[in-house]
Structure 1
Amino acid sequence: MSQPRRISRRRVRTALVLPALLCVLAACSGDPGTGGASDAAGPAREASPTPTGPPGTLFDDFDYTGVYDPSFAAHGWQLRTGGGGPGIKGTWSADGASFLSDPTAEGGKVLRLRSSTDGTKQGTTQVEVQTTSRNFFTGTFAARVHFSDEPASGRDGDHVVQTFFPISPSDASENYSELDFEYLPNGGWGSVGPQLDTVSWHKADPPDRVHQTLKRRLGGWHTLMITAMDGEVTYSLDGKKLFTSSGKYVPRDRMDVHFSNWFIDLPFAGGPRSWDMKVDWVYYKADEAVAPADLRKTVADFRTAGTAHVDTVPKG
């Protein structure tokens, strides 16, 4: 599928709410598990436990009372608000983010990102959550995400994009880096969904990237994994490889991690509707290719130990 229309999310910087406080590390008891290498990366390496968790690790179970819970900012998260693209510019709002119990999740609370529209810019809100630190480079990025094929309320048909991606702060950088999972249940930019796009960027302006599209309906929970190691980026869905990029389409700069739910355009009026994306947990392991089975064990061990948050990623 040709994609001349896709733009980087960094084209316009925006204001941010809930600035980060000092990082607070959750204590980790028990054996948090190991990070294993993928088939191409050789044998697994031990991740020796420390009082705050295995080194070079971010894990967050999103067990917060709300977006104004002090721990949310203290753990390095912030919400986007104000102007900028992509999507409907000037409609980013903190109102769409919340934490709630979900019986379909693996346990505990989930982060829900709800974007809404009535077909007008004035009646549209988009939502994005991101880390405040730019400490993520090579290694394994993973998240358990719930995609929506239908709106939570109102009529269907919007060109909505539900995303998980690490990205460098400036699209003007010579070392610009961006790695995308994008789910489009109704397509967009002239394509017909449903589809999951995996995209590795080299430059934002003019756009220079490679991608692959999976044409499949994916409503429900999925484990998304991006492994950036040894000159390759591999995207996996529920433990199965989808796409690999290499050469110039690999990270060249440190990145922050984002989740967002936004509208490409407003194809029709017709009353209010809302779209949900949910996140159960997020995980990052610096400088290691973690196998899917090891990822599952690590997350299960964190939860068994009652560890809702760990951040031992070196600060760049």
Structure 2
Amino acid sequence: MKIQRLSLAACVVAGTLLAVAGCAAVPAPMSAPDAGVFFDDFSQPSVSALVAGGWTVRDQRGHPGIDGAGWGAGALSLVDDPAQRGNRLLRLTARTDGTPAGTTQAQLCHARKYLEGTYAARVRFSDTPVQGPDGDVLVQTFYTVSPLRFAYDPQYSEIDWEYLPNGGWGDARTRLYGVTWQTVRLDPWDAYNQPLQHVAALGPAGGGWHVLVMQVAQGRSRFFLDGRQLDEHGGRNYPVVPMAIAFSQWFVPAGQLAGVSVPRAYEEDVDWVYHARSRVMTPAEVEQAVQALRRSGQTAVDTVPAAEPPLASTCDF
């Protein structure tokens, strides 16, 4: 009997590569669907409840952002969703009066145990401050990261979504970055990475809410915005060690409004975050999985095993 060789696309079933008849040439290193799921829809009553559930609030000063700026639980809150009764949101608030002492940035991290699989989050970006004049250069993020132990650390791993509502880094355009990292030296700055740039306003004028998906598997990292693939990265920029899932909002150094001391505040909201360990899922499959969890009343799920040996999530990068 002749066995027909199927295409790679035909050998993908529910996002998982299968080694079946006709697909013998397709590798199948990804684990079974029970490899673990992490999901949080931020229904907790308080930030302290987030911490009790495994999240870490950044409170250490340092990179990135304004040198000398503060971090801490005061920059994070859980609020009722004005658009959906009974729904709650994680809110990250970055504040500044133009001085380091008057600047607070926000960062929240989960355990350092995530590597290959599918990552997704529903995030509301904002283009303008909720208080004060507009114009500060800031970064609103959803990302995964491992510690940078030293300059040019060969094990450093990071995959980012970064939204720049007021431009930055020599380009005034409002845009979304997707970045995979090989390594970096912070001072003087020297980065080895691969970026994508999606030039668009994604705040309220652009819909506000967006679903960001990253597929990390078989040496390739794919970026999807609202179901549409924007880019694919690989090679030396592929992550090599377990990372923490994180969200942050911070100000770009030298990008603050010059000479303006009026306080201003910017907000980034997160509806939910989802990770399927060692599984490639399409954006549509992610949305279906999230809705199924919500319909079943599950607001926080974590069946992803800890790294062996366990790794500390320092939430300081």
TM-score (norm 2): 0.81
CA distance in 1, matches of 2:242, 2:305: 12
CA distance in 2, matches of 1:275, 1:140: 29
**1:54 deviation in Å?**
5.2
Paired AA for residue 207 in structure 1: A
- SS of structure 2 residue aligned to 1:134: strand
2:287 equivalent to 1:296: yes
Question: Partner of 2:222 in structure 1?
Answer: 234
CA distance in 2, matches of 1:137, 1:105: 33
- SS of structure 1 residue aligned to 2:294: helix
**1:301 deviation in Å?**
0.7
CA distance in 1, matches of 2:60, 2:303: 31
Q: 1:14-38 CA distances to partner (integer Å, 9 max, x unpaired)?
A: xxxxxxxxxxxxxxxxxxxxxxxx9
Unaligned 5+ runs, structure 1 = 1-37, 47-52
Q: Do the aligned partners of residues 79 and 256 (structure 1) sit closer, same or farther apart at CA in structure 2, a change above 3 Å counting?
A: same
1:1-316 → structure 2 map (5 Å cutoff): 39=9, 42-44=12-14, 55-69=35-49, 72-90=50-68, 91-104=70-83, 108-131=87-110, 133-172=111-150, 173-205=153-185, 206-219=190-203, 220-265=208-253, 266-268=256-258, 269-316=260-307
Larger Rg: 2
CA distance in 2, matches of 1:244, 1:279: 24
Contact 1:66 1:98 (C-alpha < 8 Å) held by counterparts: yes
Paired AA for residue 178 in structure 1: E
Percentage of matched positions with identical amino acids: 39
**1:93 deviation in Å?**
2.4
CA distance in 1, matches of 2:103, 2:218: 42
Q: Which moved more, 1:216-225 or 1:78-87?
A: 78-87
CA distance in 2, matches of 1:111, 1:280: 7
CA distance in 1, matches of 2:306, 2:288: 26
**1:74 deviation in Å?**
2.8
**1:169 deviation in Å?**
2.1
- The size of the alignment, in residue pairs, is 270
Paired AA for residue 100 in structure 1: V
CA distance in 2, matches of 1:225, 1:195: 17
CA distance in 1, matches of 2:265, 2:137: 12
CA distance in 1, matches of 2:123, 2:173: 19
CA distance in 2, matches of 1:158, 1:129: 22
- SS of structure 2 residue aligned to 1:299: helix
CA distance in 2, matches of 1:107, 1:184: 30
**1:174 deviation in Å?**
2.1
Q: 1:147-169 CA distances to partner (integer Å, 9 max, x unpaired)?
A: 00110111110101000100112
Contact 2:146 2:241 (C-alpha < 8 Å) held by counterparts: yes
Question: Partner of 1:28 in structure 2?
Answer: none
Q: Do the aligned partners of residues 68 and 41 (structure 1) sit closer, same or farther apart at CA in structure 2, a change above 3 Å counting?
A: farther
Q: Do the aligned partners of residues 177 and 138 (structure 1) sit closer, same or farther apart at CA in structure 2, a change above 3 Å counting?
A: same
CA distance in 1, matches of 2:157, 2:83: 34
Q: Do the aligned partners of residues 282 and 106 (structure 1) sit closer, same or farther apart at CA in structure 2, a change above 3 Å counting?
A: farther
Contact 1:162 1:183 (C-alpha < 8 Å) held by counterparts: yes
Contact 1:195 1:215 (C-alpha < 8 Å) held by counterparts: yes
Contact 1:171 1:204 (C-alpha < 8 Å) held by counterparts: no
Contact 2:51 2:57 (C-alpha < 8 Å) held by counterparts: no
Paired AA for residue 188 in structure 1: G
TM-score (norm 1): 0.81
Unaligned 5+ runs, structure 2 = 1-7, 17-32, 308-317
